[in-house]
Each structure stands twice: as C-alpha cells, then as structure tokens.
Structure 1
Amino acid sequence: MQRYVIYKRVSTVDQGKSGLGLEAQSRDIAIYLDTYSPEPFEVVGEYVDVLSGKNDDRPELIKAIDQAKRDKATLLVAKLDRLSRKVSFISHLIDDPKLALRVASMPHADKFQLHIYAALAEQEREFISQRTKAALRQAKERGQKLGGLRDKTMKRNIAIQEQAQKRASNLESIVVPLRDRGDSLRDIAAALNKAGIKTARGAEWQAPQVKRVLDRLAS
C-alpha cells in the first residue's frame, strides 16, 4: 500500500486561521490522490506550518520528514514552494536518498525537473526583487543630478557582473550534477534548452555559455 505524509504551509497567521491557503492546498492534494496515486493508498500523517517561505526553520516540516522516513511513506506537498523558496533547501530534500517526495501540482515531475522548476522560480523572484529596487532608486534620484558617465558605466558593469554571478548560482543545482555525471557542455546546453530555460538575453544555450556559467561557479 502506498503511504503518504502530507505537508502544508501558509505564510501568515491569518491564512492559517482562515483556512484560505490551506483549502487550496488540500484541494490540489486531493486531486493528486484521486487521479495520480497508486491504489490503494493511506495518509498516515498531516502537518502544517504557519510561517514565511523564507524561513527554513520549520518544526512541522521536520516532523513530516521524520515520519515519512520512519513509515517509508512519500512526503506529499501541493506546490514546490510550500517546502521552501530556496533552491538549496529544496535540493537538499530532493537529493535525500531516504526521502520520497511528490508534488501534487507536478504529478509527473522527476527529481531533475523539480530542480529546474525550483531554480526558475528563484530566478523569477530575484528578478522581481531587483526590478523593485531599481524602481525605488529611480524614484529617489528623480530631480537629482546624476554622476558622470564614467561613474554610471562602472556601476552598471558591477551590477551586470553581480547579476551574472547570481544567475550562475541559480543554475548550479542543474548544471553541476549534469557535469559531474559526465555530460558534455553541448549536452548540458541541450538539457537547458529542452527544459525551456533561456539565457540572460532570452536566447538558447550554447556550449560556450554553459562553460562561462561553470567558470563563474568555480571562481
């Protein structure tokens, strides 16, 4: 019999009390169990945390993981971001050989695909954060005299380098495992393109671009 330990998370106390966030997660999990789960199945545990996705100190998640391992059950969540918003944290769970994990909203996703989805979500959040900061800076500088061209160029170049390094870090959980298993630069580029991941300029990946990412990670 297939066993499941269900984990849910809402970000605020109000969501936890109202049940609005929990209701949507319960619906998605029910769809997965009814449509995609092997039968018969049994839910042997259910845990809920009420805290931000940025906080990885989650007592109920720890309990859920412990029970899933102890009972040889699958940890089931509605969405990947219910576990965390950090690629490193999610990767740690995905790579745990003693933990089986399924995501209701991605019923057919394997471990490699979950890595990719987590990395893409983190990239999107980082871009939104940077866009917001840029808008705030522009609003603050309106009506003020900007620095010289050289100063602005230097700041822009530094920002570009920082963005490139962050993007390389976001791709680390994808490209490094592929490299370590012996894939060529061309193979890694093909995997990124197949997954729908674009370069910073919105183009498809080529071997030299993959090499630059790996070089940044090694620096």
Structure 2
Amino acid sequence: MPAASPPRRRAVGYLREGLRIGSDRQAQDLAAYAAAHGVHLAKRYVEAAAPAGGSRPALAAALAHARRTNAVLLIARLGGLERNLRVLEALQTADVDVVALDRPAFHRDALSWLTPLARADVLRGRAAALSGVRTIRRALREHGVYQGPRRTLTRLGNPQGFRPEHQRLGPAALIAQADAAAAAPGALALRLRAEGASLRQIAAALQAAGLRPPRGGAWSAMQVKRVLERVDGG
C-alpha cells in the first residue's frame, strides 16, 4: 500500500487594491506561487484601496486566519508596507510566517530589525513637525502677535496665547466672507419672496440666473432659507 503523502502547508493570501498591478494579477501570482511550492491557498483577503484611518481590516483578518490555522501569510505585493510601522508591528505581533512575492528577502526574522527602523522614522517625523511648530510660534512672537504660552505647546489653530484682537480676526473674516457671498443671491431672493414666490421657486430662479450657492452645487429650499435669514433675518 503506497505511503500517504504529507499534508500540504496551508497559506492565506493578502491582496491590495489601488496598486499599479491590479488585484486580478495579484491573485494569479498567489495561485502560481502556491502551485509552484506545493502550498494550499486556503483563502484570499483583499484590502481596499484607501483604508479608512490607516486601518487595514483585511490584513488583520488574514493574520488572524494564518495564526489560527498555523498558515503562512502570502503577501502579493508588499510595496511600501515594509516602511509602515503599523503593518510591521501587526506582523510581528501575529508571529506567523510571512512571504512577500515582490520582496524575497522579506520574512518573519527581518521584522526584528525593520520594525525599529520604521519606528525611528516615525519619531524623526514627529520631531521635525514639532520643530516646525516652534519655529512658527517664535516668528509670531517676534512680530508681537503671539504672547505665549512659552512652555506649553498647543495645537496650531488654537487661539490660546494670541492677543484678543488677533483672535477675533478669524471669525470676523469668515462672517464678512459669508455676507459677501450671500449679497447677490440674497437681493434676488428678497425680491422674489416679496412677489409671493416659494422657497423652491426662488431656488429654481437662482439656479437659472447662474448664481452659485455659498457651498456650491445646486440651490435647495433650505439654502434659500439660510440666505434669506442672513440678509434680513428671514
């Protein structure tokens, strides 16, 4: 009776959309690698082109699957992920075998030195940003606009530490800009309302006249109502 062949190693595929090489080609490359190395490709996980907030749910699911089944993670295209600190930390924490088809030298042992390098890059970037904030604050202080705080660094855009007259410049400029944008459509809207037109009819007239609403797009009854409230209190 012939001896049973040993079970094939399981693998989990990870693909990324939005790359120069499409997900279909990546899937073909994964299948070809699995066939050439006698690996059973159990499942493929596809990451969206632009993950929200930098999160990568497909990668997290693929890592969980690989760890649960003692499978190797096959990454179709690593791209710039070898410099992404979040990705490297996730791979290191999962503690699974990793193969990147486009980076033969990338493997689990390489994470021990790639992750500290990526972490150092992040720290250097934060230090550079902090230095830029301090430079801006110093220039404003020299021109008498910024008074402090000298030791407490606050987020740019926060009015804390600026003179009262400069704090009021932002809201005042926004109000003046909104009033100017509402002047022309507001005058026509007032005249049409006095003639008995409804908000919807006024919106259609403003659209036909080529007047743009403050936020762009097409006029609506609510936008007409807000313009009327601004020009005469509604």
TM-score by length of 1: 0.44
With a CA cutoff of 8 Å and minimum separation of 6, indicate the structure with the bigger relative contact order: 1
